[in-house]
Every structure is written in C-alpha cells, then in structure tokens.
Chains A and B, each alone.
Chain A
Amino acid sequence: DQQVKQNSPSLSVQEGRISILNCDYTNSMFDYFLWYKKYPAEGPTFLISISSIKDKNEDGRFTVFLNKSAKHLSLHIVPSQPGDSAVYFCAASAKTGTASKLTFGTGTRLQVTL
C-alpha cells in the first residue's frame, strides 16, 4: 500500500521554464512533508519542507504547495536550470510514539534541457 505516490516517473522541462513535480498521499496522519533531491551515485539531500499547518513554503527558486483537502503537494522550480536535473523524492512524516517515521514516494526524474 503506497501511502505516498509520485505518479510521474519522469519529467522533461526546458531551461528557464517552470518545473512542477507532484505528490499525492493517503495517510491523513502525515504532519510534515519534505522534498529530497538525488543525483546519480550520491545519497538524497534535503531540498525543502512544509508543515501541515501551512499551505506554502518558499526557498529561492523552490516553492512547495500543500493542499490538505486534496492530500496533494507539489514542488515548483522557477526558473529551471540544467543543474536541477536529478531524481526528486517526496516524503511524508507521521509521529509514531516518540519518533517520526518517514515514508517516501517512488521518485520523479527531472531532466532540464537546454
């Protein structure tokens, strides 16, 4: 049962345009959402996050939007740059006792073309 879904395995965007990566979740207990970026031969690195009490968080070119009623979040990258080409993982966190358990999506491979 995939609680966090990224339905687009890949996305190709021209340099300078907007990249929009989507993520859907099913567990209403998730209270924090994160995006990780992964380059080949490296571990994922944290990109941006959002608490469930907010609907938008912005950090430079990256903005995450959360629609709780639709159980949907999206990552916007504006403008897209060739260095943004990577696999992006959406992750959601829910408190389990004293720890927070992170559940990852399947990833979306973004390719930014010249």
Chain B
Amino acid sequence: EAQVTQNPRYLITVTGKKLTVTCSQNMNHEYMSWYRQDPGLGLRQIYYSMNVEVTDKGDVPEGYKVSRKEKRNFPLILESPSPNQTSLYFCASEGRRTGSSYNEQFFGPGTRLTVL
C-alpha cells in the first residue's frame, strides 16, 4: 500500500530536549515536505526537499532542521524544542496519481507534539 508513515504519532517532551520525528514514504517520490498545523493558521510549510541531499526552508523554518540522506526518509529534528513548537506536524511527499496531469501531496497521519 502506497503510504507516508510518521513516528511517533504522539509525543510529550520538555523544553530543550532534542527530538526527531521520522517520516518515510514508499512511493519513490522525490519531493517531500514538513508542515505544522495550528488553530486559525492552517497548514504551514516548515521545510521541503526536492531530492536526496537537497533541502530548503519553507515558511516557518526557525527552530527546525531536516535531513535527506535517502529518498524514502525525511526526518524532522528539533534540536532544542520550545513550547511554541507545540503543534500537529505532517510529513508529505509529492507525486502524481495514475492518469493525473498534476502532482498532489500525500500526507502522513500526523504527529501531535507537546513541549512543556
């Protein structure tokens, strides 16, 4: 089954304790990205990656790092989490459905992060 997986699904941590949220896709997509969803703000892009070893900042990159060492994985790293990073995070990969003329984003199930 074609999918994007994220782990963990839920995480409660404390300020300053480094954490990593993993993301993996099995669709051989080149383009992957991370979003955060906050009430009243919708989905905002944090970082994206156009291919292995190619990453760039999205709209809200401060406080986050990413890496893309292999095509299927795109982990999100919070070196020193702060309470304002409490949010719902989504990983996505971009590809084209059979018969479609345009790419669409396939989202993972989300990771709810609470930073105390």
Q: 11 new A-B pairs (CB below 8 Å) besides A46-B105, A99-B50?
A: A36-B107, A42-B109, A43-B108, A43-B110, A44-B43, A44-B105, A49-B104, A101-B45, A102-B45, A105-B42, A106-B41
Contact residues on B (Cβ < 8 Å of other chain), bracket = 20 to 34
Contact present for A42 and B110 (CB under 8 Å): yes
Contact present for B41 and A99 (CB under 8 Å): no
A and B contact pairs by CB, cutoff 8 A, 25 listed: A4-B42, A9-B40, A36-B105, A41-B110, A42-B109, A43-B107, A43-B109, A43-B110, A44-B43, A44-B107, A45-B107, A46-B97, A46-B104, A46-B106, A49-B102, A49-B104, A51-B102, A89-B42, A89-B43, A91-B43, A98-B50, A99-B31, A99-B50, A104-B35, A106-B41
> B20-60: contact bitstring with A at CB < 8 Å (1 yes, 0 no)?
00000000000100010000111111001010000000000
